[in-house]
Amino acid sequence: MLVTSLRIGSPNTVMPLRCLRAYSLQHRLEANRLAMSRQTFIFVSAPALDADLMHLVEQALGGQFIRAEGSDPYIRVGTVAVYIGGHEFDDDDIAWPQGSDIPRQSQYPAMIEIRDTGGNLRHQQGIASKIFAALRSTGRYRAVFIDDMQKILDSYSPAE
Identify whether 69 is part of a domain.
yes
Query: How many folded domains does the chain comprise?
Result: 1
**Domain region containing 124:** 38-156
Cβ proximity of 42 and 112 under 8 Å: yes
Q: Say if 140 falls within a structural domain.
A: yes
Residue 53 falls within a domain, yes or no? yes
What is the pTM assigned to this prediction? Answer: 0.72
Q: For residues 7 and 136, give the distance between their C-alpha atoms in angstroms, rounded to a whole number.
A: 56
> Which CATH number does the domain housing residue 43 bear?
3.30.70.2920
25 belongs to a structural domain: no
Q: In whole angstroms, what separates CA 153 from the centre of its chain?
A: 12
Instruction: Name which of 40-49, 104-113, 115-124 the model is least confident about.
Output: 104-113
pLDDT tens-digit map of 32-91: 444 446 889 999 999 888 999 999 999 999 999 999 888 889 999 999 999 999 877 666
